[in-house]
Amino acid sequence: MRHTRIAIAAVAACTMLTAVSACGGSGGGSSSAASGTYTFWDPYPQFDGSSAWGKLVASCGTKAGVTVKRTAYDTTDLGNKALLAAQQGNAPDVMLVDNPVVSTLVQAGILNKMSDVGISTASIQANIIGAGVLDGSPYGVPIGANTLALYYNKNVLAAAHVDPASVTDWASLTAALKKVRSVGKKGVTFSAIGTEEGSFQFLPWFWGAKGDLTHLDNADGQAALSLWKDWVSEGLAPNDVLNNTQTTSWQEFATGKYAFGENGTWQLGNAKKAGFPYGVISIPARDGGAAPAPTGGEFVTVPVQKDSGRYKVSSQIVTCLTDDANLLATDTTLSYVAPTATVQKQQAAQSPELKPWVEAVAAARGRTSGGLGTRYPVISEQLWTAVQAALSGSKSTEAALKAAQTTAANHQG
């Protein structure tokens, strides 16, 4: 009965993961019948077996007395293959997945509760683990988190006589952008592309206005979208934000012509290579303080197996990957902020440039938190559609968000 339920739920959940690719193809990498081999899937194809990450995964298997067979997929492909593998009854023993995917996999009946496999999550910060909690139960352990903030070019701000410490809310940020424009420099760049990246980048402004994802068209949400639209209309942000990914947005900031660039922790390495002095500040909320930015990052999970006897070793592997020493090494390598206060303090001591990111993560929230779960992908698609419509001028801010709310509500019954 369990696997029949999984098969039916997996088919129903497939659409939640197919914004880029469709379900289908071979599941691949199924759990070996040999108890000495455990399968592990992750979304890091950029890391081979000789990398620090690849070696860590292998060593955690060795410590548990088994061999780990690791397979890496890109993020979307991994989610689709997880659904298919569960449908076929051959899910991997341990799987690392992007945090918004957890709720979809739980709905499909694929993942175990951490409490059911003996894994404690007590030390994890509540807002970081929130994306993996459904009905009060965690279904995974975050290996770290990243989020968004504003990088700034010290040279550009100095030329415009702008003190970055003066940027504390939307009004002071807009005033700074106008000063920058007045000395012939460019203002702010970000990603407003019609994909999840666009929603991810818009959420700090939406939440910073106290916007509600279940009521996209309320006055707070309209204020956030109007801010972006006004920036583009007034030339404080470039028109190409409509097509910018987070990568191309970073490339614009890296030209040295922009005062600010909204981007993530993962750009720290590139920032050090940019060739100009930079700093980082939190994205301001409308009326001051740090806006809640969305958390990015992956969760280690233990998929459902026919042989429940495998869970003991799987749990040992998860515990190894997420102990303090390995979190410190992994999150430093991946430019993640650790999910526990203890390791965050160690990171900040080793790398002072991480301090504003630790603060940003402390204020961040999961995209699927607050009970949104599998409703989030539907809402997000309508949100990025509204951003595109308003910034392109095809709809007013109010009309774009009203259409988004209507469509999102209809899709959710």
- pLDDT at 25 > cutoff 50: no
Provide DSSP, 119-138.
---TTS-HHHHGGGEETTEE
The alpha carbon of residue 131 and the mean position of all alpha carbons in its chain are separated, in whole angstroms, by: 10
Span 60-94, pLDDT tens digits: 999 999 999 999 998 778 888 988 988 888 899 99
Span 157-187, pLDDT tens digits: 999 999 999 999 999 999 999 999 999 999 9
How would you class 346 by CB atoms within 10 Å of its CB: exposed for 0-12, middle for 13-18, buried for 19 or more? middle
pLDDT attached to residue 26: 31
pLDDT attached to residue 8: 33
Q: CB count, 10 Å around CB of 137? A: 14
Span 90-124, pLDDT tens digits: 899 999 998 888 988 998 899 999 999 999 999 99
pLDDT attached to residue 368: 87
Task: Yes or no: say if 141 and 114 are a contact pair by the CB < 8 Å rule.
Answer: yes
Span 219-266, pLDDT tens digits: 999 999 999 999 999 999 999 999 999 999 999 999 999 999 999 998
Task: Yes or no: say if 139 and 115 are a contact pair by the CB < 8 Å rule.
Answer: no
Share of the chain above pLDDT 70, in %: 91
Average pLDDT across the chain, whole number: 89
Rounded distance between C-alpha atoms, residue 299 and residue 314, angstroms: 14
* Half-sphere exposure in the Cβ direction for 19 (13 Å, CA): 16
Question: What domains can you pick out in the chain, each with its CATH number?
Answer: 2-145+297-362 (3.40.190.10), 148-293+372-411 (3.40.190.10)
- Predicted TM-score of the model (pTM): 0.80
pLDDT attached to residue 86: 82
pLDDT attached to residue 322: 95
3-state secondary structure of 1: coil
- pLDDT at 372 > cutoff 90: no
- pLDDT at 19 > cutoff 80: no
Torsion of CA 52, 58, 62, 68, to 10 degrees: 170
pLDDT attached to residue 363: 85
pLDDT attached to residue 79: 84
The phi and psi torsions of 212 (rounded to 5 degrees) equal -120, 120
What per-residue string of b and e applies to 189-214 under the rule 16 or more CB within 10 Å gives b?
bbbbbbebbbbbbbbbbbbbbbbebe
pLDDT attached to residue 340: 94
2 membership: H or E segment, kind and range? helix 2-13
The pairing of beta strand 67-72 with beta strand 37-42: parallel
pLDDT attached to residue 125: 93
Q: Among 23-37, 113-127, 345-359, 361-375, where is mean pLDDT lowest?
A: 23-37
pLDDT attached to residue 362: 85
3-state secondary structure of 258: strand
Nearest CA-CA partner of 313 in 2, 78, 39, 71 = 39
3-state secondary structure of 263: strand
Out of 28-32, 107-111, 219-223, 369-373, give the one with best mean pLDDT. Answer: 219-223
Q: CB count, 10 Å around CB of 154? A: 13
The pairing of beta strand 148-153 with beta strand 258-264: antiparallel
pLDDT attached to residue 35: 57
H, E, C per residue of 397-413:
HHHHHHHHHHHHHHHCC
In single-letter form, the type of residue at position 312 comes to: K
Q: Which residues are within 8 A (CB) of 357 and not within 5 positions of it... i.e. 6 or more apart?
A: 146, 147, 149, 265, 268, 280, 337
